[in-house]
Structure 1
Amino acid sequence: MTQESCSHDCGSCQQKCEEAKKPDFSVPANPLSNVRKVIGIVSGKGGVGKSLVTSLLASAMQKRGSQCGILDADITGPSIPKMFGVETLATANESGILPQQSKGGVDMISVNLLVEDKATPVIWRGPAIAGVVKQFWSDVIWSYEDYLFVDMPPGTGDVPLTVFQSLPVDGIIIVTSPQELVSMIVEKALRMAKEMDIPILGIIENMSYIKCPDCGKKIKLFGEGKTSETAAKYGIDFLGEIPLSPELAALCDAGNIEYFSDPFLDRATERLESLK
């Protein structure tokens, strides 16, 4: 009901009437899907390791006993299947598209699981890409997921907007790098999430340091990170630092990211488990 069609004085319910005027862009999930929590992994710029964080969080939560899935919404730069070593194409039946599953049991759907040649570029305009993301929610059978992680492309364009408006996102995690412009990146993501009424669960800094193989000292290649300071400024939980790790890079290249184990994401997994 819009305010124009109200048959009473809206003075006492102005907020509800204003809410009713907002258009509803939500897309229904596949009837056979059962998703408990949808978590968006976002960044204000590219190249900060958003897909890496998505994969690490899904793997960590899976190891802690939760069933996890990944919706790869980075349509033009999909990398999730590669990191998990998943190459078999997704299949479909009369009820919808069936996601593929990693060795550790993580369900996933990605453009790279729908095309034979993984090197084929996706040269589509924004509306077409946004349409595919909606289909990854409405047409894919997410039979049961405690957590469905959505790996979004960087920025605040068509696809992040589509995800926020179309999917029932329970919260986002922002991924940054240790640079001065982190404050600007966080502020962009903050403002978009606030306008969309999406809770911000916290922020993770990637490429924070490299550990000396001889003495174990942390070396800050990009200088002292500003992420924790920025998180405090905006009242966001700082969920951890991820180092530059040759071991992690090698596992990603080999499709074995699930074999990586490190406690630096413990705070992030605990924050996810705290969601009601």
Structure 2
Amino acid sequence: DVEQYQNLKSEIDDEVILDLKYLVSLTDKERKYLVDSKVFRTNREVARTIKLNVEKILSEGNIKLSYQLIVNWQNDSFKYVYVDVLNRVLLGNKPSLKRVIEANNLTNEWDNLMVSQLVKDVRLAQTSAKFVIEVSLKTLIDKDEFAKLKKKLAVKAFSNSEIYYLIDFEEYLKLKPTLNFEQIIFRNVLKAVKLSEIEVLKRIKNMIITDEEINQEAGSLLLKIVKENLTEVIYDHQKSDLLKSFLVNNKLELVMGEGFARVDQLKNIRK
């Protein structure tokens, strides 16, 4: 009745809705249920803080980026520049930031801001490079949103640069949309792909892999398959030790991670 509706309405406010969205974002096919706990409540408070920070950044239309080199370790030259959010901007870790953005339907706005800031930074630094930037698959397959990205990139300052979109392969497998694979770099490929989907691997042109993926069951076999298909593989060693023997044995040339330069201004990148 009306009284029950009014009581329910008074109990479900914006904060409750945000909590529910965040709760849903934490679940996946392997973890379908969550139990309320001190850890969850702490994460929920972090999520609220991140949301406020994200909304402030979007309203100001300005974000601090960091840039990390993707290097050919054999000749110590870089091929790509990985675009990321400056650590101190995150107010939490990157997975939490992503969950908050997705839970609040802010992916398109966030992706547009990231690309806009990249173009601004390139203009100020008067430089050019091949940039790798993470965007949501939803943004790429939305014709209107993707058109906005392309318009931002179609400026003189960016004319000598190239952009590659970093996409989560697990997200791609859910939809399997038509994409220009030449302009896509996938991550989590070896983690998400199944042996029954080998044909999908043959279409991939570029990918980033981690030590965890290579060391998983069938990881070496899957890596061998993509290498035979002339797929360009970038090894993100993250915080693990980087051994020359490992790179040689797995025929890996391009590397990124803690052992390589990360700067907060493009002008500081060595040529």
TM-score of the alignment, normalized to the shorter chain, above 0.5: no
Structure showing the higher helix proportion among its residues: 2
| Higher normalized contact order (CA 8 Å, seq sep 6+, divided by chain length) | 1
TM category (shorter chain) comes to 0.3 to 0.5
TM-score (norm 1): 0.35
